[in-house]
């Protein structure tokens, strides 16, 4: 009677850097140890070197969580990530790909040859022949991987729900007032910029600390403030400075409230094990379009408009429509006067 062998999975954890072109990335690959085929992979890329600071010797599920969270928050280089994913699709293509070659080198413990393969194929999407790739390997029973994912999903779901669900005794108005000093202020969804090596643990943040954040709110209002603060470039969100107002803990989730500008606040939900990048003016990559006082005045004017809109119960996006209509009418009147 033949003995039944449990299915095992080879997990390839990797990172790459091409400093000459400011390209950095993390990836994780799940390969069936029997069929030598790749079952799943995920990758995230950035033009910020802090991504490369993540240590790939961490457990596979922690690396997978980092990649997933960065993509969920939009903190990655979209074009570069897409190109690397397409490269991996070709690399692992059944029948024509190089998955069996990678598997064979792993079995022989020739990890340097595996790194050379990745460097060869990634040099094209990264645009640098001198790209450097590092990998680490884990081999685990497939059932253990699924068990970890299942338990992790259940735990994360409970933590997020506990952070997002307000107390039954508290009213929505009271919840907001606990976050920002002015009930009529703008509260945007933001994400903290992380720095796994040199950053400050989220639980050590204190009021007044100046940190890097990104505006991640996907709405007309969010896009307006992104444009106003020059917080994106070529479709990629850029870090901007903000001051910590309040840090509270809900389960394993920390709620961080920051002040971005006059009457503008941001709210971020983060796990308790993250490290936050402190603000450094030398790392502020935004192109300044105008004087800071002028931008602050425009922000304050916008806040004042939104306050009035709230008092009249006018939806925020109607303001943009009204401004557009007025601009068209004024332009039409100008043309008539010139005729």
pLDDT in tens, 1-17: 455 678 999 999 999 99
Residues 185 and 127 reside in one and the same domain: no
Residue 313, pLDDT > 90, answer: no
Is 54 within the bounds of a domain?
yes
Is 56 within the bounds of a domain?
yes
Residues 139 and 182 reside in one and the same domain: no
Instruction: Say how far apart CA 105 and CA 167 lie, in whole Å.
Output: 55
pLDDT in tens, 25-65: 999 999 999 999 999 999 999 888 889 989 999 999 999 98
- Exposed, middle or buried: residue 271 (CB in 10 Å: 0-12, 13-18, 19+)? middle
Is 254 within the bounds of a domain?
yes
Instruction: Say how far apart CA 110 and CA 8 lie, in whole Å.
Output: 20
Average pLDDT over residues 145-172: 62
Instruction: Say how far apart CA 224 and CA 316 lie, in whole Å.
Output: 11
Residue 47: domain span: 8-144
Neighbours of 65 (CB within 10 A): 16
Is 338 within the bounds of a domain?
no
Is 334 within the bounds of a domain?
no
Continuous H helices in 46-171: 60-73, 78-91, 99-107, 111-126, 142-164
Q: When comparing pLDDT for 45 and 167, which is higher?
A: 45
How many folded domains does the chain comprise? 2
Residues 301 and 203 reside in one and the same domain: yes
Is 326 within the bounds of a domain?
no
Is 286 within the bounds of a domain?
yes
Residues 43 and 125 reside in one and the same domain: yes
pLDDT in tens, 183-209: 557 888 888 998 888 899 999 999 999
Residues 200 and 254 reside in one and the same domain: yes
Nearest by Cα to 258 from 299, 211, 304, 300: 211
Instruction: Say how far apart CA 245 and CA 211 lie, in whole Å.
Output: 11
């Amino acid at each position: 009677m033949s003995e039944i062998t449990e299915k095992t999975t080879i997990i390839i954890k990797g990172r790459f850097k091409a400093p000459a072109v400011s390209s950095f990335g993390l990836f994780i690959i799940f390969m069936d140890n029997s069929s030598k085929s790749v079952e799943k992979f995920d990758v995230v890329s950035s033009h910020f070197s802090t991504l490369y600071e993540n240590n790939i010797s961490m457990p596979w599920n922690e690396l997978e969580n980092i990649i997933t969270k960065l993509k969920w928050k939009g903190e990655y280089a979209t074009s570069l990530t897409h190109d690397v994913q397409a490269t991996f699709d070709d690399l692992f293509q059944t029948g024509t790909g190089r998955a069996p070659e990678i598997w064979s080198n792993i079995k022989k413990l020739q990890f340097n040859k595996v790194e050379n393969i990745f460097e060869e194929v990634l040099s094209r999407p990264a645009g640098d022949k001198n790209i450097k790739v590092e990998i680490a390997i884990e081999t685990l029973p497939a059932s253990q991987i699924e068990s970890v994912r299942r338990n992790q999903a259940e735990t994360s779901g409970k933590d997020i729900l506990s952070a997002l669900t307000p107390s039954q005794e508290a009213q929505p108005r009271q919840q907001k007032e606990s976050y920002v000093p002015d009930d009529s202020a703008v509260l945007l969804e933001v994400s903290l910029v992380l720095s796994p090596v040199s950053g400050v643990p989220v639980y050590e943040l204190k009021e007044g600390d100046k940190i890097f954040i990104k505006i991640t709110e996907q709405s007309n209002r969010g896009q307006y403030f992104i444009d106003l603060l020059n917080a994106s470039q070529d479709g990629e969100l850029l870090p901007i400075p903000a001051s910590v107002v309040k840090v509270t803990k809900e389960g394993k989730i920390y709620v961080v409230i920051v002040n971005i500008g006059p009457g503008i606040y941001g709210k971020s939900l983060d796990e308790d094990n993250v490290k936050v990048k402190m603000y450094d003016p030398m790392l502020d990559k935004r192109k300044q379009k105008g004087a800071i006082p002028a931008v602050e005045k425009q922000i304050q004017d916008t806040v004042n408009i939104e306050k009035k809109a709230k008092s009249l119960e006018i939806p925020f996006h109607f303001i943009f429509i009204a401004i557009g209509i007025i601009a068209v009418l004024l332009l039409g009147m100008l043309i008539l006067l010139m005729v």
